Amino acid sequence: MEKRRIIEICANSAQSCVEAEAGGATRVELCAAIPEGGTTPSYGEIKTAQELTSHIAIHVIIHPRGGDFLYTPAEIQSMLHDIEMTKQLQVDGVVVGCLTKEGEVDVELLHRLVEAAGPLSVTFHRAFDVCKDPLVALEQIIEAGCDRILTSGQQPDAVQGIPLIARLVEQAGDRIIIMPGCGVRVDNIARIEAETGAKEFHTSARTTVYSRMAYRNEQVPMGSSAVTSEFETVQTDCHQVALYV
C-alpha cells in the first residue's frame, strides 16, 4: 500500500483547523495575521481549536509580529511566555525561527526556544528562507534539536525552490524533516514530491468566505484595504484539503 502524504495546513483560525481535520490533514500550523506572515494566535483561538477537533496535531507559530526575524529582548520575552502558554494547553508543537542581523541562525536564541518548548515538537519556519547560508543553517537547526524545517528553497515558491529543497533533503537524511511550503498546490505537489524526495508538505487549501452582514458601510475600512475587505475573509476548506492527501 502506498504511504499517505503528510499534509500540514496553515490554519488561520479554529474553524480552519476543523476543516483541515475533516479533509484528512495530519497537522495544522495555527497562526493569526496570515497576511503579515503569520503571528502567534490567541489563547482562546488555540483552546477553541483543541475543543473543536479530536485527532489532528496542532502546532502553534511563535511569532510576535510581522517583519524580520531579528528580535528585541521584549519580543524574546513574549515568545518565551507564548511557548509556556502552548505547553500549558498541551498542544503538539510550536513553530519558531530567529536570525542574527548578519542573516545567520541565532543559535543561542534558538537553543533557548527549543529548550523552553521541550518536550513539544519544534519546526523552524521560513526564516530559513532568508538566511545567508542554508546548508550551514541546516546543520545548526539540526544541532539545536528541531524536528523539521519549513522552506520554499529560498525562492518565492516551492516549485522554484525544488533544486535547493532536494539538496536539503539529501543532506538532512533522517536527521530532520524538510517540509516544502509556499505555493504548494494540487497541481504541483506530485512534482515537488518526485523531484525533492520530501514526505511532508505545507499548504493552506483556503477558499474565500463572504460576510453575512446585511448592512454594510464600505467607506470605513478597519484595516488595510490592500490586504482584504471587511466583508470577506479566507478559510481552509475540507474539500480542498482532501485533494492533497
Does the predicted model carry a pTM greater than 0.85? yes
- Which residue shows C-alpha cell 482584504? 228
Question: Rounded to an integer, what distance in angstroms lies between the CA atom of residue 217 and that of residue 117?
Answer: 44
Q: Which pLDDT belongs to residue 222? A: 76
Residues 6+ apart with CB under 8 A from 117: 83, 86, 87, 93, 94, 96
Residue 169 and residue 140 in contact, taking contact as beta carbons nearer than 8 Å: no
Predicted local distance difference test score (pLDDT) of residue 1: 41
Give the pLDDT of the chain (245 residues) as one tens digit per residue: 455 799 999 999 999 999 999 999 999 999 999 988 999 999 999 999 999 999 999 999 999 999 999 999 999 999 999 999 999 999 999 999 999 999 999 999 999 999 999 999 999 999 999 999 999 999 999 999 999 999 999 999 999 999 999 999 999 999 999 999 999 999 999 999 999 999 999 999 999 999 999 999 888 877 765 556 788 889 999 999 999 99
**Grid cell locating 224:** 488595510
Rounded to whole angstroms, how far apart are CA atoms 189 and 211?
Answer: 31
- At residue 224, the pLDDT reads 61
Helix, strand, coil percentages for the chain (3-state, nearest 5) = 35, 20, 40
